């Protein structure tokens, strides 16, 4: 977020881009096939082999297609902005997928992936410096998957994927085309032991198994992007309103050289294990659809994860997060979400990942009875006892390093000034003592750099947050008092054209205390105090994770409605 070192950072980044491919940490060809392509998979540490969701099942475990409810269409977009704004590289990756689950037959899924890498100059043996023509450079794939439950707690799935990689102008002969086409197969299992009331599930898959890949010279072939994925998922809390799901998984590539196929690697590529493995951990706090009445329902999902690569491929350990909100009406469900990497523990060693990600996903779901003309069966979603919709304002007070942090020895400081905070909030009460809370915050602030006590630079930073929290009223003798804790995704937008990146993402922990005071029938006044702990890089030269402290004091005005007797 600071301007110091900006020019040198840009020069280093351009240098790295000219020498390092975006997949430089992988020795496998077509590695883009292993990129996460959903909010849930990125948010859970870039892995969903055990997640009870059909999202990204065609990427990590085709057996998970059985968790689809009805039919769903999904669009995922990864723009890879880390390169775009400095050297004008526009290399978006898009994924289009669909899944249909038939109760008596099984679940089917399809996916089309298109990674547009732009145009590359064409060279030939006669014109090694280029002919002046431009050729398309892209990676594309199409896959079909099928999964079926063999019994209530065991499912299996299989998938076929056709992939084409075209490097266009990288060929050095008119007779040769720098492209490759391959067929890959994937298979997976998902099992939930009954002894823990199906709260535990085990996922296993082998993905993108195929033969070696080459573009121009077979002697310079690369292994296919094959992986083994194995994990354990546990759901410690689940009820009609929400669920809490955890995952611990690892993935191992089959990238031994020389090799004719990844099928060989299944047996002879284990000498580097576990140094070549990647550990994935994640936690998901997901609201189930809440019945708002008149056919409308609302839901929200939040994810927090970690991705840690073994030391064979170099240090790369980062945190990820993701969030999704959606509505459902008369059997049709629409959701929009964001996910990304928000902190890299080793960013100073692997420079490209120091830049933020901003992936988005849109999903359209359809009740399983609608497409086939069957009589719709009403889904009995949980009904909140009441809902309080509020808007409010307050004042933010930053302390410690968030307020002022030194650099250049003791000659310079940087920090964020105090500012106003505005927000809207929905509190969905499960009963009189417990509620799920969704909030959106706007908290503009001035970022100030000083040198030897004199102001050197000032810039307004727009700060937006979306939060998912749990509220509890602990005292029966004074029921209006509540405490609240949650997680928020924070987006910081500097308004100056001299700052890069043009945005940044963080994760914050929220702890709040307040009181709901009824001032008139249905009108609620809520004074509150909030502690906001934003997690970010701590220090000027080290990427370790630290906490930045902020206190918010304010008041909310809300309307209480939809009262139901439980």
Tokens of 155: 């499912």
Task: Determine whether domain 23-366 maps to CATH 2.40.160.40.
Answer: yes
- What residues contact residue 195 under an 8 Å CB cut-off, 6+ apart? none
Between 487 and 539, the more confident residue is 487
- As a residue count, the chain comes to 566
CA separation for the pair 229, 157 (Å, rounded): 14
Closest CA to 510 of 449, 391, 410, 423: 423
Residue 207 has pLDDT above 60, yes or no: yes
Mean pLDDT of all residues in 156-171: 83
Mean pLDDT of all residues in 272-298: 91
Fold classification of 386-561 is Porin (2.40.160)
- What residues contact residue 378 under an 8 Å CB cut-off, 6+ apart? none
Q: Do domains 23-366 and 386-561 have the same CATH topology?
A: yes
Percent share of the chain, pLDDT over 70 = 83
SS3 (DSSP) at 450: strand
Residue 529 has pLDDT above 90, yes or no: yes
Q: What is the pLDDT of residues 439-454, one digit of tens each?
A: 999 999 998 888 877 8
State whether the Cα torsion 182-107-246-463 is positive or negative. Answer: positive
**How much is the pTM?**
0.89
Between 4 and 172, the more confident residue is 172
Percent share of the chain, pLDDT over 90 = 54
CA distances 14 to 11, 86, 343, 444, Å, are 5, 8, 21, 32
Residue 187 has pLDDT above 90, yes or no: yes
Tokens of 175: 């007779």
Q: What is the band of 378 on the pLDDT scale with cuts at 50, 70, 90? A: low
SS3 (DSSP) at 369: coil
Q: What is the pLDDT of residues 104-119, one digit of tens each?
A: 899 999 999 999 887 7
pLDDT at 260: 85
pLDDT at 3: 36
Mean pLDDT of all residues in 332-353: 76
Q: What is the pLDDT of residues 473-483, one digit of tens each?
A: 999 999 999 99
Let me know: does 81 contact 358? Beta carbons within 8 Å: yes
Among 65-74, 160-169, 322-331, the minimum mean pLDDT is found in 160-169
Domain boundary assignment for the chain = 23-366, 386-561
Between 423 and 352, the more confident residue is 423
CA distance from start to end of the chain: 49
């Amino acid at each position: 977020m600071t301007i110091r070192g900006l020019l040198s950072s840009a020069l280093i980044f351009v240098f790295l881009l000219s020498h390092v491919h975006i997949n430089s940490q992988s020795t496998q060809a077509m590695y883009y096939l292993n990129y996460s392509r959903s909010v849930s998979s990125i948010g859970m540490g870039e892995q969903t082999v055990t997640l009870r969701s059909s999202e990204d099942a065609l990427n990590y475990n085709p057996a998970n297609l059985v968790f689809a409810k009805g039919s769903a269409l999904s669009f995922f977009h990864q723009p890879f902005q880390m390169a775009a704004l400095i050297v004008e590289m526009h290399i978006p990756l898009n994924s289009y997928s669909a899944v249909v689950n038939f109760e008596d037959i099984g679940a089917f899924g399809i996916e089309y992936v298109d990674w547009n890498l732009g145009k590359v100059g064409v060279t030939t043996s006669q014109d090694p410096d280029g002919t002046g023509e431009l050729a398309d450079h892209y990676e594309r794939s199409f896959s079909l998957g099928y999964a079926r439950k063999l019994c209530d707690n065991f499912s299996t799935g299989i998938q076929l994927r056709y992939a084409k990689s075209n490097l266009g102008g990288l060929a050095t002969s008119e007779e040769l085309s720098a492209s490759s086409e391959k067929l890959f197969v994937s298979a997976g299992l998902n099992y939930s032991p009954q002894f823990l009331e199906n709260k535990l599930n085990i996922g296993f898959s082998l993905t993108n198994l195929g033969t070696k890949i080459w573009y121009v010279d077979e002697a310079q072939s690369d292994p296919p992007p094959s992986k083994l994925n194995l994990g354990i998922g546990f759901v410690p809390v689940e009820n009609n309103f929400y669920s809490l799901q955890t995952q611990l998984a690892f993935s191992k590539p089959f990238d031994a050289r020389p090799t004719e196929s990844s099928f060989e690697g299944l047996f002879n590529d284990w000498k580097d294990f576990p140094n070549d493995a990647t550990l994935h951990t994640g936690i998901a706090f997901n609201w189930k659809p809440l019945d708002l009445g008149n056919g409308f329902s609302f839901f929200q999902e939040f994810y927090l994860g970690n991705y840690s690569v073994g030391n064979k491929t170099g240090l790369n350990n980062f945190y990820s997060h993701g969030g999704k909100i959606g509505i459902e009406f008369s059997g049709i469900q629409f959701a929009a979400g964001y996910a990304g990497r928000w902190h890299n523990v080793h960013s100073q060693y692997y420079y490209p990942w120091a830049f933020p990600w901003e992936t988005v996903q849109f999903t359209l779901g359809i009740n399983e009875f609608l497409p086939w003309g069957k009589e719709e069966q009403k889904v009995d979603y949980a009904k909140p006892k009441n809902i309080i919709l509020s808007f409010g304002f307050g004042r933010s007070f930053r302390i410690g390093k968030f307020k002022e942090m030194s650099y250049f020895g003791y000659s310079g400081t940087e920090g964020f000034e105090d500012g106003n905070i505005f927000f809207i909030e929905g509190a969905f009460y499960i009963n009189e003592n417990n509620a799920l809370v969704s909030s959106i915050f706007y908290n503009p602030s001035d970022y100030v750099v000083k040198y030897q006590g004199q102001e050197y630079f000032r810039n307004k930073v727009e700060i937006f947050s979306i939060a998912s929290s749990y509220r509890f009223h602990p005292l029966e003798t004074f029921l209006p008092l509540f405490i609240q804790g949650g997680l928020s995704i924070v987006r910081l937008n500097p308004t100056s054209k001299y700052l890069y990146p043009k945005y940044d993402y963080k994760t914050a922990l929220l702890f709040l205390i307040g009181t709901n005071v009824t001032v008139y029938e249905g009108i609620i006044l809520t004074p509150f105090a909030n502690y906001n702990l934003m997690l970010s890089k701590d220090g000027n030269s080290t990427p370790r994770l630290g906490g930045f402290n902020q206190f918010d004091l304010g008041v909310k005005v809300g309307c209480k409605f939809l009262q139901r007797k439980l």
